[in-house]
Amino acid sequence: MSKTPARRAAAPACSEDPAAPARPATRDLLRRFVAAELGLNIPDRSLCPGHNSPMDYLWHSFNADFAAPPAANGDCVVWANRGGGKTQLAAVATLLEGLFKPGCQTRLLAGSRDQAHRMYDYLAAFLQDDFAYALDGRLLTDACRFTNGAKVEVLPQSAPAIRGRHIHKLRCDEMELFNPDLFAAAQFVTRSGDGLRAAMEMFSTFHRPWGLMQQILQRADEIAMPTFRWCMWEVIEPCPPDRSCSRCPLSGDCRGIARRADGYLAIDDCISRMRRSSRAGFEAEMLCLRPTLENAVFAEFDPAVHVAPAPYQPALPLYRTIDFGYVNPFVCLWIQADDDGRVFVIDEYIQRRKPIVEHAEEVKRRTPCPESRVAGTYCDPAGSARSDITGTSTVRELAEAGVRATYRSSRIYEGIEKIRAALRSGDAASRLVIDPRCTRTIEALRCYHYPDAGAKSPSELPEKDGLYDHPIDALRYFFINHPYAAPPRNRHY
C-alpha cells in the first residue's frame, strides 16, 4: 500500500480520549481511518470482470463482527497478485482487531515462518509508529497483547503445536506453500465467542492448478465462501494523461484500464516485471488470469475447447475404461468414438471404499445400453494379478459380477502422448470432448502434473498423487486399447 503524504490529518471522529479512536462505523470511515492513522491508501476500485478491490476484503474482515444480521463466520479466501499488498493488508486487519475488538485472539500462520513474521513485522511497525499506547506490556518478537485483552501471536510451523488451540481469527499467508498436514490441523482452531465471529482467512497467489490454492478455491466455490480476487490493475497507480498508450508495453493487457486506477504499484515496476518474466508467469503472478502450466502434463487442455455437452449417441459404439482402487478411488469412464476419430467422454463414476461387486452394479446401472452392446471395457492390467488373500483377481471378480474387461500392458508415457494428440494433434485439431458432468476428469486433466523441480526424487513420469492420476489412468486405458480392439459388429434385435 502507498503512504499518503500527510499522516493523521483526516482522522474520523474519535472518543473523548484522543489515544482511543472511535470504531469506524462505515466502509468510507474505515478507509479514511487507515489513510489518516497509518498513511496507507487502500485501493477501492475493481477494474476487471469478477474481481474485487483490496478494500472489499478489508471491510469484510473488519465488519464481520459488527454486521447486522451478524455473519455466520468471517471465513474468506484472498487471491491476489505479486505486489498486491496481501500481507500488509492482513496486518492492517490484525491491527484493527486489536484496537476495536476487545479480547480478540488472532493468530498468524504462513507457508513458512519467515512469511508469517513478515505479516507480524508490518503489525509491529504500525504499533511502534502510532499505537504504542494500545499495548499491554512489551512488543515481543512473535506476540503482543493489547490493553483491551486482544492478543496476536505467530504460530509455529507444526501441526501438533496448532492442534488444541481455540482462537477467534486465523490468518494464513502463502497457502500454496502450506504443508497439507499443517493446513489440515488449522481447519479446527477457530471458534466464535465473546461476541466475535470465528474466521479463517487464506491468502495466496495462484501458482499451480494442482496446488493447495486450487483445492481451497474449488471448496470456497462449493460452499459459497467469500473469495476476494484482485490483480495488478486493481492496485496499479493511476496512469497520467501524458503517458502514451501506443508506446506503453502494457497496452495490450491494459486497454486503458490504468487510467481509472487508484492504486500504488508503480507502472514502470509492472513493466519491468512483465519484461523479465515469461508470459505464462506474468499472467499467473500479476494478472491472476490462470495458474502457470509449467509442470502440467496436459498444457494443451483448454476447458473452452475440450468441455462441451456430450450426450450418449446410440449410433456410436460405447466403451468403458476402469482403474481399480479401494482407498484410492475406483474410476469408470464411459467413452464413445466416431469414424472421424473424435472421442467423447460422456460420463464418469469415481468412488472409494466399496467392494468390486458394488462398483460393478453401479457401472451396469449407469451404462446407457445393454451389456451386450458395450463395444469394450478396458481396465488396469494390474487388476489381473491374483490376490494372496482372496485367491482371485480383481478382473475376475468384476467378470463374475457381470462386467467383462480386457487389458493391454503399456508404458505410462505412451498413453499420455495419445491423450495429448487427441487434445491437440499435429494439425492443431482437437479430437477430445468431455461432458461438463465429468467434473473429476476435467479437474484431473487440468491438474495432472510432473513433480516439482525441487522434489527429492525427480522423475520424468507424472506425479502419483492419488487424486488426479486415477481418472487419467482410466482415460489412458481407452487410448491404449481402442486401436487394437476389433471393430464393433452391427447386431439386429
End-to-end CA distance of the chain: 73
pLDDT of res. 422: 94
pLDDT of res. 19: 61
Q: Please choose, from the candidates 97, 309, 99, the residue with its C-alpha nearest in 3D space to the C-alpha of residue 108.
A: 97
- Helix ranges (H only) for 367-458 are 394-400, 412-423, 439-447
- Report how far residue 383's alpha carbon sits from residue 371's, in angstroms, rounded to the nearest whole number: 21
Please state, rounded to an integer, the average pLDDT across all residues of the chain.
Answer: 89
- Report how far residue 119's alpha carbon sits from residue 173's, in angstroms, rounded to the nearest whole number: 8
Look at the chain and count its residues: 493
pLDDT of res. 207: 77
Q: Using the 8-state DSSP alphabet, how is residue 428 labeled? A: S
Q: Using the 8-state DSSP alphabet, how is residue 242 labeled? A: T
Using DSSP, state whether 340 is helix, strand or coil: coil
* pTM for this predicted structure: 0.76
Q: Please choose, from the candidates 437, 253, 236, 424, the residue with its C-alpha nearest in 3D space to the C-alpha of residue 333.
A: 437
pLDDT of res. 476: 96
pLDDT of res. 464: 87
Is the omega angle on the peptide bond into residue 18 within 30 degrees of 0, that is, cis? no
Q: Please choose, from the candidates 306, 318, 316, the residue with its C-alpha nearest in 3D space to the C-alpha of residue 340.
A: 316
Residues 6+ apart with CB under 8 A from 328: 352, 466, 470
Using DSSP, state whether 199 is helix, strand or coil: strand
Chain centroid to CA 490: 47
**Which residue ranges of the chain lie beneath pLDDT 70?**
2-20, 388-391, 453-459, 484-493
Phi-psi category of 489—alpha, beta or left, where left has phi over 0 and alpha has psi -120 to 50? beta
Strand order in the sheet with 374-379: 374-379, 318-323, 330-337, 343-351, 432-434
Q: Please choose, from the candidates 165, 33, 6, the residue with its C-alpha nearest in 3D space to the C-alpha of residue 93.
A: 33
**Domains of the chain listed by start with CATH number:** 17-233 (3.40.50.300), 303-483 (3.30.420.280)
Q: Which cell numbers hold the place of 338?
A: 466416431
Between β-strands 330-337 and 318-323, what pairing exists: parallel, antiparallel or unpaired? Answer: antiparallel
Q: Using the 8-state DSSP alphabet, how is residue 335 labeled? A: E
pLDDT of res. 18: 52
pLDDT of res. 218: 87
Residues 6+ apart with CB under 8 A from 94: 106, 108, 119, 123, 152, 169, 171
- Report how far residue 107's alpha carbon sits from residue 88's, in angstroms, rounded to the nearest whole number: 15
Largest CA distance in the chain: 92
